[in-house]
């Protein structure tokens, strides 16, 4: 356990967070669901509307600064929270940000393409680039590398935050650190909690949290709710990220068979697309707790938690922690669809 902290401290890190995020109770929503519900408020990480990506970027920007980069590049969905926080961190550190936006969500209106995180990227001074395909991680990375080479030829010192597989999961180190933070906040974590529920997309957050907890000797189940791909694919991705993380840290593979649990029952119709259950999860959480969830990540993760409770995957009365990974600005990008559903509900 001591080695985990020591090893983590050997990686370059730029502090972007204001400190540990709070753990709050959600008594009214918990009562409605029939569980004891806690929220780990990683929407409150402090930089430009916060979110889980701030933790990850402390290590990416640490490496970028160690390499004397003056420009950072990232690719992501149009309403990517990751892209928005990269733009904010770059502005804070006096660097230039180039952000490539991928068309992952079909059929969205003009508001989706101009409001929310897109508006914030522009306010933060990021240089925007478009990538017309939505499910082509390797192609998106190649386009980003080409742009980096052009910037290098122009005299810039670019650092690329990659999207696809085959790269060291530097961002996951942020959630190894979060696992340590969580245990320090709640030393009886494994005895206190029946499960931790988190959105599982790129798997950086899910894998880092799971690996960090297991390395710290904590056996609490970490349940990942799929937000981008089917459970069969997501499970392999999380397992690979955990293995890659062990290699990156030069530590044992603490994650064992059966530790990776993912659920995709509320994924349809696909990434970033609302369904009735996601809307209901967003609405319930807002009206019972005054906590805002987004349609892409946290709303879907809460819908998955609710489905697990209703289906018996989470035992009635069980103490459960939901990791709120942020994403609030994206709510505004979905105004048209959210308004239509609110009006229909009366």
As annotated, the active-site residues are 80
Integer Cα distance of 168 and 156 in angstroms? 24
User: Mapping DSSP to helix (H, G, I), strand (E, B) and coil, where does residue 13 land?
Assistant: coil
CB 211 within 8 A of CB 62: no
CB 301 within 8 A of CB 52: no
The string of DSSP codes covering 110-135 is HHHHHSHHHHHHHHTTPEEEEE--SS
Beta strands in 7-142 (DSSP E): 23-25, 36-41, 71-77, 96-102, 127-131
What are the strands of the beta sheet with 127-131, ordered from one edge?
127-131, 96-102, 71-77, 158-161
Q: Which residue has the tokens 């930089």?
A: 47
What are the strands of the beta sheet with 319-324, ordered from one edge?
23-25, 36-41, 319-324, 195-200, 222-226, 261-263
């Amino acid at each position: 356990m001591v080695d985990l902290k020591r090893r983590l401290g050997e990686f370059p890190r730029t502090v972007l967070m204001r400190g540990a995020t709070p753990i709050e109770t959600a008594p009214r929503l918990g009562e409605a669901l029939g569980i004891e519900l806690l929220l780990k408020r990683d929407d409150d990480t402090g930089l430009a509307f916060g979110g889980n990506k701030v933790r990850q970027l402390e290590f990416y920007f640490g490496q970028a600064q160690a390499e004397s980069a003056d420009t950072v590049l990232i690719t992501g969905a149009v309403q990517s929270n990751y892209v928005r926080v990269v733009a904010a961190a770059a502005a804070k550190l006096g660097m230039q940000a180039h952000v490539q936006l991928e068309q992952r969500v079909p059929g969205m209106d003009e508001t989706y393409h101009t409001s929310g995180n897109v508006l914030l990227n522009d306010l933060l001074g990021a240089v925007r680039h478009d990538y017309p395909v939505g499910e082509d991680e390797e192609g998106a990375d190649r386009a980003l590398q080409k742009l980096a080479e052009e910037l290098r030829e122009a005299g810039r010192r670019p650092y690329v935050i990659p999207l696809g597989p085959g790269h060291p999961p530097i961002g996951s180190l942020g959630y190894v650190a979060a696992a340590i933070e969580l245990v320090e906040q709640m030393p009886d974590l494994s005895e206190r909690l029946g499960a931790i529920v988190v959105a599982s997309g790129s798997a950086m957050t899910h894998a880092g949290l799971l690996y960090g907890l297991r390395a710290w000797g904590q056996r609490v189940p970490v349940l990942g709710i799929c937000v981008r791909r089917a459970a069969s694919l997501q499970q392999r991705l999380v397992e690979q990220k955990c293995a890659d993380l062990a290699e990156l840290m030069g530590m044992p593979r603490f994650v064992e068979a059966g530790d990776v649990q993912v659920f995709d029952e509320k994924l349809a119709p696909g990434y970033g697309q609302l369904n009735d259950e996601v809307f209901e999860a967003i609405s319930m959480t807002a009206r019972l707790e005054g906590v805002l969830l987004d349609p892409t990540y946290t709303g879907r993760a809460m819908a998955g938690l609710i489905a697990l409770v209703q289906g018996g995957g989470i035992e009635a009365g069980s103490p459960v922690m939901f990791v709120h990974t942020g994403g609030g600005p994206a709510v505004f990008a979905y105004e048209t669809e959210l308004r239509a559903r609110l009006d229909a509900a009366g």
